[in-house]
Amino acid sequence: MVSSLDSVRQKLLNKDDDWQWSLINTFREYCRAIGINRPSSDPIQVMHFQLRHAIEQSRGVRAGSSKPHGHTLSLAYAAAAVKALTLDHGRKAAAAISEVAKATGFDKQDVQNFYHALSRDRAPKEAPAAYNFCLTQMREWSADVILASLSGISIFVE
């Protein structure tokens, strides 16, 4: 923790544009390490996504993407849930999309469009890696655990 804070301090002194993101990232990792659960740390994650998006926008990294980082990653998580429900729990895609939309509070059409965009390589560039990471984890979970994990992720969508 001390070395991470020293790194953040050096970024601040160097006037690096990502020092705030580094600070919130350090705090986020500390919260995880001491066992703070996801719902309690959601505000930290929201700020993490907002700062990352702002930095990438200012650097021109996300010039082609109008959606904030949290929005993209939350929909990738939802799409992974749809896929896991269809592959491992016998759900039809339409039923899985409806269940996921209900569990997340996302619009059903948004979930469906993002799910299909991923399969057609039309999703934002960071989405496939997040989707694959989440899908790998979710394939080991029961349908109930998958659906429960979706609760509250709409907080990351601005």
The model's pLDDT over 98-116, given as tens digits with 9 standing for 90+, comes to 999 999 999 999 999 999 9
The model's pLDDT over 16-72, given as tens digits with 9 standing for 90+, comes to 888 888 888 898 889 889 998 777 887 887 787 777 777 777 776 654 456 667 788
Amino acid identity, position 84 = A
Distance from C-alpha of 81 to C-alpha of 52, rounded to nearest angstrom: 24
Distance from C-alpha of 120 to C-alpha of 115, rounded to nearest angstrom: 9
Distance from C-alpha of 103 to C-alpha of 78, rounded to nearest angstrom: 9
Residues 6+ apart with CB under 8 A from 102: none
